[in-house]
Structure 1
Amino acid sequence: MKRPLPQAAGAAAAIVTIATMALTACAGPGTSGPAPTASRSSAAAADGPRVAVAYAGGVLVLDGRTLEVLADEPSEQFVRLNTAGDDRHAFVTTSQGFQLLDLRTPELTGLVVKAAAAGHVVRHAGKTVLYDDATSDTTVFETADLAAVDGALPEARVIPGVEAHHGVSVVLTDGSLLTTVGDESARTGIRVTDAAGAEIAVSDECPSVHGEGTAKGEAVVVGCEDGALVYRDGTITKLDSPDAYGRIGNAYVSEESPLVVMDYKDDPDAEGYLLHRLALVDTEALTLKVVDLPDGVEYTWRGVTRGHDGEALLLGSDGRVHVIDPATGEVTASHEAIDPWQSPAEWQDEHPALAVAGEVLYVTDAERRRIVALDVHTGERIAEAALPVTPNEIVAID
């Protein structure tokens, strides 16, 4: 029997104007960021692709065509990056909350959505959704309103959480909210409520729930320590891993495809962060299968994304970008990108990452402080540049 879960405070959601903070950003003690290689006044046209690269002490903004550094914005020693979904902004997660980075200006603005523990950012159905792990509160912006920001953040809807945990929320087209359930001791599943806060579906069959993705037909997938949950058309379905321990923590989706690619860890005692298998979920057939990667090809959660045709793009530890059929797991092509690399000692440590914007795939090389741009279809090298810092996380906008 499923144990009852606490009622969410969906009906208590409030429309508020998110407070902003004017921050004086600075590098951490003993850290000196490099001087920008280009002033903002000499920046390239603002309508092209842009890339943001986090490093220990700040964030670089690059021209997506030339890979020229357009801005170097000081920040904290460890920050995370998430696109806002508006082809203009990214959110930089700091100890203060979610700070808005304008990649078009470019500058790290003083606009901050306060959060005690800024967590996941989700973009779907014209909404940009922020989750605070310290409160489990969900903040919902209209993505179009973020794109029009001019000196102040737009109004947002805040949905109060129930019990604080490391979680995530998704708002669907009909206004329903899917959010994770947990507390300080454990994360157990998901709960879905309609726009008025009434419960639609709930499941506590997802130990260590983490990560999410929304596929074709608004099928939402979240990872579990022993499989995945799929929410579709008002029903939650549990898909079991084939192994006793088969942890899934991240979902890589295309909203035009029912097929979801997920990371997969089958050894709880494995050292390092390199993985050698993928989980493939079909949200229409409601199936989950696990496939092995070719010998010598391993990856981290930071090294998978989806291409324009729904294919999976995986940056292997062999330094190549492997194109993978999400239906079969077959590697259909491989492209040279960077030199081979090894697992980071900790998940936060600098290691290679990739991001797609438009027709271009960007790959960072942490050890050699470089970034390369490849044609997402052919793998042809378009541009390459040295970086003045060691790159960590990366996001790109078209």
Structure 2
Amino acid sequence: MTTNPRWRTSATLASLAAVAVLAAGCASGAADDPANTSGSGEAAADVAAGDRLAVSIADKVLVLDSDTLEVVDEFDSEEFTRVNPVGDARNVLVTTSEGFQVLDTAAPELTDTVFDADAAGHVVRHHGKTVLFADGTGETTIFDTDALVDSEGALPEVETYQAPDAHHGVSIVLADGTLLTTVGDDTARSSALALEPHDDHYDEIASSDECNDIHGEGTAQGEAVVFGCADGALLYKDGAFSKFDAPDEYGRMGNAYVSETSPIIVGDYKKDPDAEGYFLNDVALIDTEAETYKVQNLGDVEYTWRGAVRGPNDDAYVLGSDGAIHVLDPGTGELTASYPVIDEWESPAEWQDEHPALVTDGEVGYVADVANSRIVSVDLATGEILTEGPALPAAPGEIALNLG
């Protein structure tokens, strides 16, 4: 095994302590409320997991009540931000030019707490750890998922790993502490490492350089982890990597839609590198237990990377360009139901552009209805529309749910 002295622990890293505070305008003054109550008068301590949504719009981030889909509060941010749940049932990370800024959805408050990051990228939650990746430096930041709540707004103790080179990457920490992380630079990325942590360094457990354009990850039952590649997928299981080859010369998987109670990973799949727009028409189905990989065509169903989740019965739910949510049985690859939700829509010109998105708490799906600048909630098991939210100040971009 090789030694990599790139591990450090700090209660407050100097780089984090020096973070420049982002200006955050609070529409209702909730951030100044000593009782820490929301616009509805509900005490922050009473806001349970799944009660709040964070929704990004141009120049702002909104906090919505997940039942009524009404705006609880809104905060000034940047023109384009992304939102990711921390996994502690309360906080959401808003990616800005300064890093990962903490949005407390219970208070609600866009706090001054920022995990400093150059080109803040992926956020991964698994087994009590939340892991951040800074594309501009290649630094991985790891903290206990509940630490933000326990630290009462201060930066929690973190551990960091520095990749040899900056790249668009992702990391995940497994239950035994193993760090899985991507390797690359500003010209290419094709590798992944499995690293065992020690007090001041990592030892390499396994590695692979077979995953061209490595991107994204997903963890299935039994902590089988899959990374997407431009020519298939890379599996880490039982301490070793193995490669799945796509049936097409170019067969890119960039995102994995997973359930930790299912061995099957559903991945988005693109087979034409020159295709215009961002619509996809196939999915990759990876059985991590049987170690099989196949591509399933979805017929007339077109979707984007923002429009697929796992839900009831571990099925996959795909938001199509026809405005319906289509139910996919990952075991058979068959579409078993279709639920109309919103109007038909066209592919975005750029991936960042607002377009319909789907997130879920496992039972209820929340759809970004961009054409009508609102959120719609749906019972995924039946297709029943639960709530059609009121109009938002602008078209919704991304949605994050404050699940624990």
TM-score (norm 1): 0.92
Displacement of 1:24 after TM fit? Answer: 4.2
> C-alpha separation between the residues in 2 aligned to 1:266 and 1:36?
48
- For structure 2, the 5+ residue unaligned runs are 31-36
Does the 8 A contact of 1:59 with 1:75 survive in 2?
yes
Secondary structure of the residue aligned to 1:146 is: helix
Q: CA deviation at 1:134?
A: 1.3
2:309 and 2:316 in contact (8 A); partners too: yes
Give the total of aligned pairs.
386
- Whether contact under 8 Å (2:90, 2:106) holds in the other structure is yes
Per-residue deviation, 1:68 = 1.1
RMSD: 2.0
C-alpha contact (below 8 Å) 2:6/2:162 kept by paired residues: no
SS of the equivalent of 1:322 reads: strand
For residue 280 of structure 2, what is the aligned residue in structure 1?
275
Q: Is the 8 A contact 2:371 2:395 kept in 1?
A: yes
Q: Distance in 2 between matches of 1:351 and 1:82?
A: 17
AA of the residue aligned to 2:147:
D
List alignment gaps of at least 5 residues for structure 1: 1-5, 28-32
| Residue number among 147, 154, 157 corresponding to 1:155 in the alignment | 157
Contact 2:58–2:78 (8 Å) recurs in 1: yes
C-alpha separation in 1, matches of 2:270 and 2:3:
31
**Any conservation in 1 of the 2:20–2:98 contact (CA below 8 Å)?**
no
Residue 381 (str. 1) matches residue 376 (str. 2)? no
Q: Percent identity?
A: 55
- In the other structure, the counterpart of 1:60 is 62
Do residues 299 (structure 1) and 303 (structure 2) align? yes
1:133 corresponds in structure 2 to 135
CA contact (8 A) 1:180 1:189 kept: yes
Comparing 388-397 and 16-25, the one that deviates more: 16-25
Normalising by the residue count of structure 2, what TM-score does the alignment of the two structures yield? Answer: 0.91
- Pick from 72, 95, 98 the counterpart of residue 96 of structure 1: 98
Counterpart Cα distance in 2 of 1:304 and 1:365 = 15
CA displacement at 1:278 relative to structure 2: 0.4
In 2, are the aligned partners of 1:319 and 1:338 still within 8 Å (CA)? yes
Name the SS for the 1:367 alignment partner. helix
Displacement, 1:146?
A: 2.2
Q: Greater relative contact order: 1 or 2 (C-alpha under 8 angstroms, separation 6 or more)?
A: 2
CA deviation map 1:110-130 (0-9, x unaligned): 100001111100000110000
What's the counterpart of residue 247 of structure 1? 252
Deviation digits for residues 144-170 of structure 1 (CA, Å, limit 9, x no counterpart): 212324131211111122111100001
Tell me, in whole angstroms, the C-alpha distance in 2 between the residues paired with 1:188 and 1:221: 14
Contact 1:9 1:160 in 2 (8 A): no
Deviations for 1:163-182, whole angstroms, at most 9, x for unmatched residues?
11100001111111110011
Q: Which amino acid in the other structure matches residue 242 of structure 1?
A: P
Task: Please list the CA deviations of residues 29-51 of structure 1 after superposition, one character each: whole Å capped at 9, or x if unmatched.
Answer: xxxx9x66999342555226211
Give, in whole Å, the separation in 2 of the partners of 1:140 and 1:26.
25
